[in-house]
């Protein structure tokens, strides 16, 4: 098992430009498997659920140089726990949540790195800002000075062709450039968190700086 993880990781790492951060999505993956991935060189892990992440982090406390990324939808009532557990939150998906995180970050003395989750195409299954909504909220997001807003995160809707997926990723990149041009001092657009096991090559082609890979590293979750 360990050699198969090693090989997967080496193979995928080699297929990515060195500037692209590989985040191993370890939701539903047991702590022992995360440890194997760590031993194969992975230092960034993505989790979707607060409780699950808390329990695995407790089992992996000795691996003190892991960076934990929250990639799943975050409910406001779990925002404090999220700040305690995660250095990165990719799934900040509405203004209220951003403001709540900002307030808590100030109180707790944290400065979390966050991505703003956008929906380029309508998708009832996903949370996130639409493009016009995000543009309208930028002024208020810029006032969330305890958040380090680093860029955008997106997940294309299911059922698109490759060309359509590439369009979504390119549009996300264009949106980031457009936001950058506004020169808002508290909003950086240096990161594009996009690409999962099925579409990460397209994401990299469109300028992804962080890919979130689960299945292709750890196998099927179900």
Ligand X SMILES: *Cc1c(COP(=O)(O)O)cnc(C)c1O
Q: Rounded to whole angstroms, how far apart are CA atoms 63 and 59?
A: 9
Give me the least distance between CB of 15 and ligand X, in Å please: 14
Residue 52, phi then psi, degrees to nearest 5: -60, -40
As given in the structure block, the two tokens for residue 151 are 């860029």
User: Which are the contacts of 135, defined by CB distance < 8 A and separation ≥ 6?
Assistant: 179
Residue 196 near residue 7 (C-beta atoms within 8 A): no
User: From the list 22, 25, 118, 120, which residue makes contact with ligand X (rule: CB under 6 A)?
Assistant: 25
- Positions 64 through 123 that interact with ligand X (CB under 6 A): 71-72
Burial 134-154 (b: 16+ CB within 10 A, else e): beebbeebeebebbbbbbbbb
Give me the least distance between CB of 46 and ligand X, in Å please: 6
> Does 28 contact ligand X by CB under 6 A?
no
Residue 151 near residue 172 (C-beta atoms within 8 A): no
User: From the list 98, 155, 166, 203, which residue makes contact with ligand X (rule: CB under 6 A)?
Assistant: 155
Select from 67, 63, 62 the least CA-distant residue to 44.
67
> Does 206 contact ligand X by CB under 6 A?
no
User: From the list 13, 44, 48, 174, which residue makes contact with ligand X (rule: CB under 6 A)?
Assistant: 48
By CB under 6 A, the count of residues binding ligand X is 14
Give me the least distance between CB of 76 and ligand X, in Å please: 19
Give me the least distance between CB of 92 and ligand X, in Å please: 12
Binding-site ranges for ligand X (CB under 6 A) = 25, 27, 48, 71-72, 155, 196-198, 212-216
């Amino acid at each position: 098992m360990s050699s198969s993880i090693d090989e997967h990781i080496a193979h995928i790492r080699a297929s990515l430009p060195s500037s692209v951060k590989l985040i191993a999505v370890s939701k539903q993956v047991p702590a022992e498997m995360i440890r194997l991935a760590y031993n194969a060189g992975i230092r960034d892990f993505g989790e979707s659920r607060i409780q699950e992440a808390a329990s695995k982090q407790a089992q992996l406390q000795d691996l003190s140089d892991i960076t934990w990324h929250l990639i799943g939808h975050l409910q406001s009532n779990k925002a404090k726990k999220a700040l305690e557990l995660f250095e990165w939150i990719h799934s900040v998906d509405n203004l209220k949540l951003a403001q709540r995180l900002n307030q808590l970050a100030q109180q707790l003395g944290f400065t979390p790195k966050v991505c703003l989750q956008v929906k380029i195409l309508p998708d009832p299954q996903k949370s996130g800002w639409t493009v016009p909504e995000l543009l309208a909220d930028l002024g208020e997001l810029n006032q969330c000075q305890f958040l380090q807003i680093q860029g955008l995160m997106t997940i294309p809707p299911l059922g698109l062709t490759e060309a359509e997926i590439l369009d979504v990723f390119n549009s996300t990149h264009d949106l980031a450039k457009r936001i950058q041009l506004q020169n808002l001092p508290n909003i950086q657009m240096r990161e594009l968190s996009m690409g999962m096991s099925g579409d990460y090559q397209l994401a990299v082609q469109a300028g992804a700086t962080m890919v979130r890979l689960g299945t292709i590293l750890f196998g099927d979750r179900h």
